[in-house]
Structure 1
């Protein structure tokens, strides 16, 4: 179980706070988002009405200022302050954390914690930036920590407790395109280690800060992308995000971006997509509180039997299905098997229970087994971008209505690129 002590701590906090006679003692639970343009909602036309958000969440959601004045993000503290005092809503985009907040506060209400807790959430980071330029010591990183420190100080001045169970991570597009990070997995783990240490220095908490990690899938924006290139470096970033989710207890899954619609089918998911992905992040937060794992639909084992590669998968909500309605089939449901001569040898795909069998023209030993490594050049999303059709069935019971349309909250398989030996 991932970070199970969080659940024990929160139970103690809720029980203690709920017993206070004054009703004024609260715990502020901070879960912000950090990253590049997707974290900041670039191009995502806002669909969340801030007044409706505060009412729907029973005034349990606040910004880094511990108020309900959302939508004033800017690069510098001064510009951000100026936007707020002038009520400048320009570039107040839809953010995934609004959807996340709805899920988490609904959980608080159902558990009877509504009088005891407040959820603090806000965005941080910088658009069009490599992970190596927004890590420890960078102005964006410092601003993010300063805002957390400001929220902490305000909470303590009110006599409230303040903890940070997790942050949401949405960064990687720049490093797919320009490959400034030479070891994205190492860089992301270093960031998580640094932010964990720096947040603990602010809050004094002993419990680790978990990284709820999406997956970026915009491979076709990389110069010279070739889905059949055996030695392709374009999958380094999404593969690193996947591996940390699979193998590091301080990383949890929200979901990949390929099942969603993108503004101009390019870099940024649109407003509805931000909301949908935010709901999945919220479900991961709830699982963290309840000491449950959240690895998403991810491969757990690769094997070879004759001319067939077998991929065994983690399935949060069985059964697995191939969905060609929500995501356009790119061919073979998004799977490929690439040999050292840059040839796709895959002939047929068979899904049974928690396994996908990839029947090939010859033995797949020494080949790259891939999923969602495809797509039209310079396109992203469920129609033309790198994509696949494999998902679980969580959406059969968990759905959300956005702008009068119902969306199932399925978990889609993370993109992967693995050498089968």
Structure 2
């Protein structure tokens, strides 16, 4: 925390030397693997995050002489599958999702299973560069364009007999794509029993413009837990796009935003 305070204070001092004004624009929070390993609960993690955010805002406001709320951009790491002994459920990645959904000035950029890894937790140089681009897209959308800054995610759902439909918030059309992320089975979708978390076999999986519909042999779905994309992955393997917990659903944002690696 002290390093964050020091950086803000230094930024202000340097701006003053140059005859400029200053305020911190944003903060990237790429952390949580150690908390997954320790078994930190969602409630404890979020409470610590809230305290951190309040302290950073208070320090930035004191340094700049005006009320400052620093936007924080977070991610969802897929390396939870390697955080022994807590490899059964992505507690901290889900806590980060909830923070972005319920806190002011907190934005979720993307899940990390799309990348390549050098080991069980760290990205390759190429994937680190790509991750920076994902953050930049979300940062521009939130801070410059003033638009809703959310990754592809569910927004509503409906159950009817043997079928369930989930609506999402795509840019353009939804698509199942295995050219980058390999298929772990059913493109990463699962239905789980709400009490036992037992997998409910799917009989069909269909996609239309902004929705995914699944069906099962059960006469009525018992309020299932719809999982995406926790499928796949084995402790000790790379948590990335070929062998990690992953999914193959994407939208069409790439039709209007693209990049070239040299």
Question: Where in structure 2 are the equivalents of 1:8-407 lying within 5 Å?
Answer: 141-183=1-43, 184-223=45-84, 234-264=89-119, 266-287=120-141, 288-315=143-170, 317-339=171-193, 340-347=195-202, 348-362=204-218, 363-374=220-231, 375-379=233-237, 380-402=239-261, 404=262
Q: Distance in 2 between matches of 1:182 and 1:212?
A: 18
- Using the alignment, how far apart are the partners of 2:70 and 2:172 within structure 1? 29
Provide the C-alpha distance between the structure 2 equivalents of 1:275 and 1:205, rounded to a whole number of angstroms: 34
Deviations 1:324-383 (A, max 9, x none): 111000001111111133421141221112111121232333322111213122230000
- Asked whether the 8 Å contact 1:165–1:208 carries over to 2, the reply is no
**RMSD after superposition:** 1.9
The answer to whether the 8 A contact 1:185-1:244 is kept is yes
Q: 1:171 to 1:364 in 2, by over 3 A?
A: farther
In 1: Cα distance, 2:161 partner to 2:246 partner = 27
Quick one: structure 1 residues 318 and 201, their matched pair in 2 at CA, closer, same or farther if it must change by over 3 Å? Answer: same
CA distance in 1, matches of 2:57, 2:221: 41
Q: Distance in 2 between matches of 1:241 and 1:188?
A: 9
Structure 1 length-normalised TM:
0.57
- Give unmatched runs, 5+ long, in structure 2: none
How far apart in 1 are the matches of 2:48 and 2:159?
32
Alignment partner, residue 134 of structure 1: none
Deviations 1:177-228 (A, max 9, x none): 22234522333233223222222222223242111122112231133567xx
In structure 1, what is the Cα distance between the partners aligned to 2:46 and 2:226? 20
The 8 Å contact of residues 246 and 298 in structure 1, kept in 2 or not, is answered as no
Q: Which runs of 4+ in 1 moved over 6 A?
A: none
Checking the alignment, whether the CA contact within 8 Å between 1:217 and 1:257 is kept in structure 2 is: yes
Structure 1, gaps ≥5 residues long: 1-140, 227-231, 405-421
Contact 2:191 2:201 (C-alpha < 8 Å) held by counterparts = yes
TM-score when scaled to structure 2?
0.89
8 Å CA contact 2:157, 2:165 repeated in 1: yes
CA, structure 1 residues 294+329, in 2 after alignment: closer, same or farther (shift >3 Å)?
same
Residue aligned with 1:275, SS: helix
**Cα–Cα, structure 1 residues 190 and 310, in superposed 2: closer, same or farther, change >3 Å?**
farther
| CA deviation after TM superposition for structure 1 residue 245, in Å | 2.2
Q: 1:271 to 1:304 in 2, by over 3 A?
A: same
